[in-house]
Amino acid sequence: MHDDLALFAEEPPMAIDIAVPALEMRGIGKRFPGVLALEAVDLTLAPGKVHALMGENGAGKSTLIKILAGVYQSDAGTMRIHGRDVAIKSPRDSLRQGIKVVFQEIALIDEFSVAENIFLEGHPTDRFGTIDWRKIRTDCADLFERIGFAIDPAARTGSLPVSQQQMVEIARALAHQASIVVMDEPTSSLTPKEVKLLFTIIRRLTALGIAVLYVSHKLDEVFEIADTVTVLRDGRHISTRPIGEHTDDSLIQDMIGRRIVDLFPRQRGPAASRVALSVEGLSTRKLHDVSFEARAGEVVGFFGLMGAGRTELAKAIVGYDPIRAGTIMVDGQWMTPHNTAVGVGLGIGLLSEDRKVEGLMGELPVYQNASLASLGRFAAHGFVDAGKERQAVQTYVERFRIKTPSLFQKVKNLSGGNQQKVLLSRWLMLGLKVIVVDEPTRGIDVGAKSEIFGLIDELAGAGLAVVMMTSEMPELLGLSDRVVVLCEGRVTASMSREEATQEKILNAAIGSQGRASHEFRV
Amino acid sequence: MSFASDRLEGAPSVWRRLIARQEVAVLVCLLALLVFFSVSAENFLSTRNITNVLGQASLALIAGIGCAVVFISGEVDISIGSLLATVAVPLIVVMNDTNSLFLGISAALVVGLAVGMINGFLCAYVGLNSLIVTLGMMFVLRGGVYLYTGQRAIADEAGLDSFIALSDGRLFDVLPYSAVIAIVLLAAFAYVLRYRPFGRQVYAVGGNSEVARLAGYDVRRIKFACFVISSLLATCSGIILAARVGSAQHIAGLNFEFQVVAATVLGGVSLSGGIGSLGGMALGVLILQFLSNGLRSLDLPTEWQLVITGLIIIAAVSLDEVKRRRAHGD
Amino acid sequence: MTEILRTGASGRTSLASLTGSGQGVLGILLVVLCLGISAAAPQFYSEANIIAILRQCALVLIVASGMTMLVIAAEVDLSVGASLAFVGCISMAVLNATGSLTLGVLAALAFASGVGLVNAIVVTLFRVNSLIGTIGTMMLLQGGVYLFTREAVQNHHQLASFTALGAGYAGPVPIPLILAVAIFAVCAVTLRFTTIGRYLYAVGANERAVRLSGIRSARLKLVAFVVTGLCVGVAGLILASLMNAGQPTAGRGFELTVIAAVILGGTSLSGGSGSLIGTLLGVLVLKVIDNGIIILGWNQDLQMVVPGVVIILATYFDLLRSRHHAR
Amino acid sequence: MTSITKLLMASVAVLIATSAQAANMPKKIGYVTNYATHEWYQNVIKGMKAHAKELGIDIEVQDANLDIAKQVSAAEDFIAKGVDVLILTPVNEEGVVPLLRRAKAAKIPVVLEGNPVKGMTTLVAICDYDTGYNAGVEAGKYAKDKLGGVAKVMNVGLPLLSATVLRSKGFMDGIHTQIASATLVHDLDGGGNPDRALEVSAAALAKNADINIIYGINDSSALGGLQAWKAAGKSQDGLLTVGTGGEGLAFINAIEKEPSYRIEAAMFPEKEGFTAIDAAVKLFNGEAVPEHIVSPTAPILGDSWKAYYDYDGTTRTIKWAAVNALKPPAKCMQTSADLKK
């Protein structure tokens, strides 16, 4: 019954010649304004195999996937699919060639039901072209049941927690007859059980002769699932080897190009005893009774899976979002909740995780972006002293080595790392006591990453309390003096740098309740 | 198989989903309005009056479908008022020359199609802001009609029975044909939006055009089609209006776009795209029509009608916003 | 280190960058229009006609100055036309009742800024899309003005000082023009050199970033709405003075002229970019077209068609330009 | 004192005359006007309501607010309600043809006000052409007398409506009877509203500095033209402004305060409303009525407005005796039918 889904067919979706590579990319290059994203990259996928694509953020993985998906077009190189030369000019072309990409940024329509999103690429219709809603619902329910998913197909997708949205996104790949499935960091918000489920699904795909490109930077996953690994670094192809030839160290060496300690230069001294930020019993729609302290000169790292409430906490403590209960004290003074003006006045500010939406004013020049928070400093009687302002920005441009052709460059034309530095200088020009950084290295290339780490270290060294929200384990362990773990809006663990281990942190992040509500029948 | 849906956080029950819908709030408003006017205004609840209002509402209902479709796709079209006046010219001129309603309507549709294609081309393919393009088009069309007609109405000389029936005729002597047409078109497009892949693509494009593109949709072609649909439906409204006024009126449809936009937003169709339904739009139109009819029955002067309509629009849109904020929790 | 500063500064002022901007295109268009019309009809550049054009521009420019600030902050106000008529009636009624120019002017400004305040509340507090919200207030004002007076409010006292507001001269320069230039200058300086101006651009470019930076974005929008209201107040006074009466029917379609001028001037409706110089050019282009069609004795219906085409074309050229720059 | 007595006597006389004529009174009359917020129509309505009250008729007024679609809707409402007589001022004369058809089907008699419509029974209207013509004759005389026999006219017109086109045409024809060399220097579309009139006039005056007569198809248009003149810094010596309508207070104010505003082609809206009610009563009783019932107009020269109106600073009151004494022509010199030729 219901065997019309590719995943469960007895036969592969199409006649696949095992001898011919499913995908061959040769000499792929891509340039963006100011950035060379990819340079002469080769990639070959074999049918029925899992090929891992690895690299740090900014290595060029996302660009390569987007070229495969038809979102970007390469500037150089050729592509062959099952032995045929192809040109992929749009996502439509890509789908037609049997490529299905599962993006890390969830590509679902919030307003649609889960079932409809599963069939977004093509609604099943009857012979009159009328959408068969019954079939959509039953097929979706059937698919979920077989892969052991406890999600209501009729639920509005936007109302689901992020982890479930990601599972829906993965399930979508199964509803279509693809011969190449690309998964971009599919586990970034999944629980270990969900990850296991994902791997079961991947194995069933490869059994059908489908080629899987698995993009990740998590070593353990790659060792478990992949047959072959290709590593990219700074937009260049570094290595392609069977997984058996790799060790942890060799992979890291390939990915980072140096030893991990270099990434986290720690130069600051011990933290002061003065409490710069104290949060007591904070509750919002998503958070429940969160309490913690951060001392001057200390980095407090918050870890949690997607949807655990990290961003919500960040926004609540700087006064951006309303709270239900609790008190926030900045440097010993009570802060009015839901009022960023008071927050900034007391010296607490947020470096948002979403630079584009909440940080950058893309159309405005670099200097205006940098001086936004401290503009009043450069003004007399309401008039801005532009010379003084630009002079001040200039010192930060030099101090942070911000690469920009001029102060008047539109900030949207800068690379991610430089944008992040501009936003950091926005706060440093003002002079904060507490800075909350939310995923400070998202979408930033490796070189800039270590610079940002250096800056954070420097900030703490200068006496700021740094509250860091992150989902990157190395970042958390490398930078924090103390680690606090969130799960479903609650603090589930708090430990010192010395006590913290990856395992302890993950256990706390998954939490007992997490397991209960993500019940799967695999 | 049992789904643990009710145990999951954030999955609202059917009932909560229902009352969270704007359509329900609008329906309650409409019913309240009907009850109020039935009590306070004589003759309001007569079959004749109700069917009259449905006939009057047909113009905004038909054009409102197009307006809603364009809104759902994430764009706007404010050239429809001028288009109402524009298409009546070829309709009446050709009909007067040929004595054929079919040829007249064809001519009107050709003009409407051309306008829709120009709007669609400029917005979807060239990538210009649709508000600006259709604002410009609004001026161009209105000015063009003034130029062509020398600011004089063109009378229907043919006097075809079929054309007159569009204005005076009633199905079973009860429901005006214009209302019948509106209901048929509403049903047809409600079907398209719900049961044709194209309809779902329109929602997807408006909901998140990047996601739609990744799903392989030709976003530009879909938006283009929406503009064409909007123009063609406004053409239908223009034809019915021409029948109701027995002529091509150069001043027809002034401020019509405001009425339709207001009714559409009132009915819960979001200006930001991807959200809303034709049912909601229709309820929005009916509220404004019954309001204006009821206020006329109460013998309130124009100025009060304007004030009350303005207040209702602001109130409805504010409530919508409050509700949305609560739903999204910011 | 000053190298970056220098290249940046010189890059901004060079002629090349000006012609590369939307304003360059518009400036050229304006010159071509003026030359073309002058060649066909020499009366175009008579002193009388230039003054007539400038006076027409004055009214639009005053309101467009405020509107530019509003649009830069990513909001829009469609109620300005209806408010213009109401302001005229109120100021004239107060003038008639008190015989005091000061009170009349104060009443006009108070009323108009009150309208701005209401718009601001509707938009920032109720978070209504300003396009729809101000259609609502437009209807309220259109109805309200007829509730206030059904006929034109006549000028009883004929105060010379009031008449001078619209029809007077200082030397050869019409007083409305002086007012317009003053308001334009104040708004331009505010936008370009003050913190408020910089914050307005910032709010339009990214309101969340502004809020996170501890700046009260709602207040800024309120300021922009009230300034627009004040501008309408001044324009309404000038119009009432010119008409020698408060006309409840005045101002039909005025909002579209103003917004068309702002858009034509290159200010983006999505906020964060634009300039008052652009708006000035936009106003001039629209009014020169309007005037030229009469001077040339062309069919006046073209006064609607031509601006429509110009708006679409200007947007198109602007798009071409920005795409070119992006490459 | 005397004026009040006259007024009383006049209304009593009217009351007796009309009630003697009509045995049956309609209970309810519906009037759909095109633009109720305009002063002209406010005074038409005033005249109607006053007269209907005398006759004990209930009159209900709806406003199309210049929207033809709304006019059709409002009239439909009245037909559904079952009014005894319908009075219509068409937003556009071609646009209400279907309404007449429907009223006929519902057996409701219709009185047109203002503009003729194909298939109508009767129309109450002034003669627009004659009104313009008579004002033109007076303007010609004035120009011969005070402006050295030169007449260069700027017409602040409204091509939108045939009635207003007729007025402009009549004015020029009238002025030609006195000054053969009179020229129409500028023919403008002032939109019928003062701010637009001001704007277009400013450009026209700049182009042709020799204009010496401003004609406006209504008072707003004439005043818009005059204000443009004043704003250009010109003296009103050697200028004649002619307004049309006498719609409200504006023209009284203008005659009192503007030296050039010497001629008003007055159209007495109150009288028009009064006449329309009379026609409605007659139609209701099945009496024969002429196709065109002419409501009188007269050119008013300077201060002679006081013969027709009392003005207390806030409202004007019509002097019925003087207005009723005006003799309207039996037939108009030209109508909109002549325009189409």
Q: Measured between CB atoms, does C139 come within 8 Å of chain D?
A: no
Q: Cβ contact (<8 Å) for A383 and C193?
A: yes
| Paired tokens of A247 | 């060790």
Strand bridging mode A76-81 / C173-174: unpaired
- The string of DSSP codes covering B132-164 is HHHHHHHHHHHHHHHHHHTT--EE--S--HHHH
Q: What is the pLDDT of residue D8?
A: 52
* Spatial separation of the C-alpha atoms in residues D74 and D81, rounded to whole Å: 11
Q: Domain check: are D132 and D38 in the same one?
A: no
Helices (H), B169-218: 177-195, 197-207, 209-214
Q: What is the pLDDT of residue C301?
A: 78
pLDDT band per the 50, 70, 90 thresholds, residue A307: confident
* Spatial separation of the C-alpha atoms in residues B50 and B59, rounded to whole Å: 15
User: What is the per-residue pLDDT across D227-241, written as a single tens digit (0 to 9) for each?
Assistant: 899 888 888 888 999
Q: Domain check: are D117 and D177 in the same one?
A: no
* Spatial separation of the C-alpha atoms in residues A314 and A214, rounded to whole Å: 31
Q: Measured between CB atoms, does C194 come within 8 Å of chain D?
A: no
Residue of C nearest to B272 (CA): C129
CATH at residue B190: 1.10.3470
Q: Cβ contact (<8 Å) for D200 and C294?
A: yes
pLDDT band per the 50, 70, 90 thresholds, residue A270: confident
The helix (H) or strand (E) run that includes residue C255 is helix C254-264
Q: Tokens 């072609």 belong to which residue? A: B221
How many CB atoms neighbour CB B106 within 10 A?
14
* Residue D310 belongs to some domain of the structure: no
* Spatial separation of the C-alpha atoms in residues B51 and B45, rounded to whole Å: 10
Question: How many contacts, defined by CB atoms under 8 Å, are there between A and B?
Answer: 99
Rounded-to-5 percentages of helix, strand, coil across chain C: 80, 5, 20
How many CB atoms neighbour CB D5 within 10 A?
10
* Spatial separation of the C-alpha atoms in residues A468 and A456, rounded to whole Å: 9
At residue D190, what is the residue type?
A: G
DSSP conformation class of D158? -
B209-B210-B215 Cα angle (round to 5): 95
Task: Judge whether D76 and D102 are in contact, CB under 8 Å.
Answer: yes
Q: Cβ contact (<8 Å) for B197 and A101?
A: no
What's the mean pLDDT in B45-62? Answer: 88
What's the mean pLDDT in A224-247? Answer: 87
Overall domain count for chain D:
2
Task: Judge whether B23 and B283 are in contact, CB under 8 Å.
Answer: yes
Which whole-number Å values give the CA distances from B185 to A17, A379, B96, B190, in the listed order? 51, 60, 27, 8
* Residue numbers of the domain that contains B209: 45-295+303-328
Overall domain count for chain B:
1
Question: D62 has which bridge partners?
Answer: D32
Q: What is the pLDDT of residue C126?
A: 82
Handedness of CA A388, A389, A395, A398 (dihedral sign): negative
Nearest residue, CB atoms, B147 vs list C138, C259, C301: C301
Q: What is the pLDDT of residue B63?
A: 94
Q: pLDDT under 50 in chain C at which residues?
A: 1-20, 327
Q: At residue A271, does pLDDT exceed 70?
A: yes
* Residue numbers of the domain that contains D6: 2-126+269-295
User: What is the per-residue pLDDT across A390-427, written as a single tens digit (0 to 9) for each?
Assistant: 999 999 998 888 888 888 888 888 877 888 889 989 98
Q: What is the pLDDT of residue A262?
A: 57
Q: Cβ contact (<8 Å) for A141 and B1?
A: yes
* Spatial separation of the C-alpha atoms in residues D82 and A72, rounded to whole Å: 68
Handedness of CA D62, D68, D74, D80 (dihedral sign): positive
Q: Domain check: are D175 and D288 in the same one?
A: no
Q: What is the pLDDT of residue B62?
A: 95
User: What is the per-residue pLDDT across B74-110, written as a single tens digit (0 to 9) for each?
Assistant: 998 989 999 999 999 999 999 999 988 999 999 999 9
CATH at residue D167: 3.40.50.2300
Task: Judge whether A13 and A6 are in contact, CB under 8 Å.
Answer: yes
What's the mean pLDDT in D156-183? Answer: 90
Q: Measured between CB atoms, does A112 come within 8 Å of chain C?
A: no
Task: Identify the three-state secondary structure at position C286.
Answer: helix
Q: What is the pLDDT of residue B16?
A: 56
Which whole-number Å values give the CA distances from D130 to D135, D163, D190, D266, in the listed order? 8, 11, 22, 12
Q: Domain check: are D13 and D116 in the same one?
A: yes
Chains touching B (at least 3 CB pairs under 8 A) are A, C, D
Task: Identify the three-state secondary structure at position D340.
Answer: helix
Task: Judge whether B285 and B263 are in contact, CB under 8 Å.
Answer: yes
| Paired tokens of B80 | 């429809």
Strand order in the sheet with A465-470: A348-351, A434-438, A465-470, A299-303, A482-487, A490-496
The residue among B303 and D295 whose pLDDT is bigger is D295
Q: What is the pLDDT of residue D141?
A: 93
Report the half-sphere exposure of D244 (CA within 13 A, side-chain side).
Answer: 32
How many CB atoms neighbour CB A462 within 10 A?
12
B chain contacts of residue D80, beta-carbon cutoff 8 Å:
43, 46, 48-49, 52
* Residue D312 belongs to some domain of the structure: no
Best A383, A418, A437 member to test C by mutation, with max C CBs in 10 Å, is A383
Among B207, B330, B226, CA closest to A156: B207
Task: Identify the three-state secondary structure at position A239.
Answer: strand
* Residue B108 belongs to some domain of the structure: yes
* Spatial separation of the C-alpha atoms in residues A110 and A116, rounded to whole Å: 11
* Residue B167 belongs to some domain of the structure: yes
* Spatial separation of the C-alpha atoms in residues C148 and B320, rounded to whole Å: 31
Q: Tokens 């009850």 belong to which residue? A: B35
Q: Measured between CB atoms, does A345 come within 8 Å of chain C?
A: yes
User: What is the per-residue pLDDT across A321-338, written as a single tens digit (0 to 9) for each?
Assistant: 888 889 999 988 898 888
Q: At residue D31, does pLDDT exceed 60?
A: yes
* Residue B55 belongs to some domain of the structure: yes
* Residue D300 belongs to some domain of the structure: no
Q: What is the pLDDT of residue C98?
A: 92
Widest pairwise Cα distance in chain D = 61
| Paired tokens of D167 | 């007025």
Q: Domain check: are D217 and D168 in the same one?
A: yes
What's the mean pLDDT in B301-306? Answer: 76
Strand order in the sheet with D58-63: D58-63, D28-33, D85-88, D110-113, D122-125, D292-294
Task: Judge whether C248 and C145 are in contact, CB under 8 Å.
Answer: yes
From start to end of A130-250, where are the E strands? 180-184, 211-216, 228-233, 236-242
Residue A309, phi-psi category: left (phi > 0), alpha (psi -120 to 50), beta (remainder): left
Q: Could you tell me which residues come within 8 angstroms of residue A24 by beta carbon, excluding any fewer than 6 positions away?
A: A43, A44, A45, A79, A80, A81
At residue D130, what is the residue type?
A: D
* Spatial separation of the C-alpha atoms in residues B46 and D82, rounded to whole Å: 12
A48-A49-A55 Cα angle (round to 5): 150
Q: What is the pLDDT of residue C12?
A: 37
Q: Domain check: are D135 and D254 in the same one?
A: yes
Residue of B nearest to A518 (CA): B8
Residue of C nearest to B76 (CA): C131
Q: At residue B238, does pLDDT exceed 60?
A: yes
* Spatial separation of the C-alpha atoms in residues D101 and A241, rounded to whole Å: 88
Query: Residue D264 — φ and ψ, nearest 5°?
Result: -125, 120
Q: Measured between CB atoms, does B300 come within 8 Å of chain C?
A: no
| Paired tokens of D93 | 């004369």
* Residue B11 belongs to some domain of the structure: no
Which of D 172-231 lie inside 8 A of C, CB atoms? 188-189, 193-195, 198-200, 202-209, 220, 223-224, 227-228, 230-231
User: To the nearest whole number, what is the mean pLDDT of chain D?
Assistant: 86
Q: Cβ contact (<8 Å) for A344 and C214?
A: yes
| Paired tokens of C22 | 């939307």
* Spatial separation of the C-alpha atoms in residues B312 and C136, rounded to whole Å: 8
pLDDT band per the 50, 70, 90 thresholds, residue A76: confident
Report the half-sphere exposure of B17 (CA within 13 A, side-chain side).
Answer: 12
* Residue D314 belongs to some domain of the structure: no
Report residue B112 CA to chain centroid gap: 15
Handedness of CA B248, B250, B254, B260 (dihedral sign): positive
Q: What is the pLDDT of residue A58?
A: 67
Task: Identify the three-state secondary structure at position D159.
Answer: coil
Residue of A nearest to B12 (CA): A155
Q: At residue A248, does pLDDT exceed 80?
A: no
Domains of chain A: 6-257 (3.40.50.300), 263-356+432-517 (3.40.50.300)
Cα R_g (chain B), whole angstroms = 21
* Residue D283 belongs to some domain of the structure: yes
* Spatial separation of the C-alpha atoms in residues B59 and A517, rounded to whole Å: 51
Of A143-147, D85-89, D300-304, least confident by mean pLDDT is: A143-147
Q: Cβ contact (<8 Å) for D253 and C245?
A: yes
3-class DSSP string for A274-301 = CEEEEEEEEECCCCCCEEEEEECCCEEE
* Spatial separation of the C-alpha atoms in residues A10 and A4, rounded to whole Å: 10
* Residue D321 belongs to some domain of the structure: no
* Spatial separation of the C-alpha atoms in residues A177 and B46, rounded to whole Å: 59
* Residue D301 belongs to some domain of the structure: no
Task: Identify the three-state secondary structure at position A3.
Answer: coil
Q: What is the pLDDT of residue C11?
A: 36
The helix (H) or strand (E) run that includes residue A418 is helix A416-430
Rounded to a whole number of angstroms, the distance from the CA of C295 to the nearest CA of chain D is: 6
User: To the nearest whole number, what is the mean pLDDT of chain A?
Assistant: 83
Q: At residue B329, does pLDDT exceed 70?
A: no
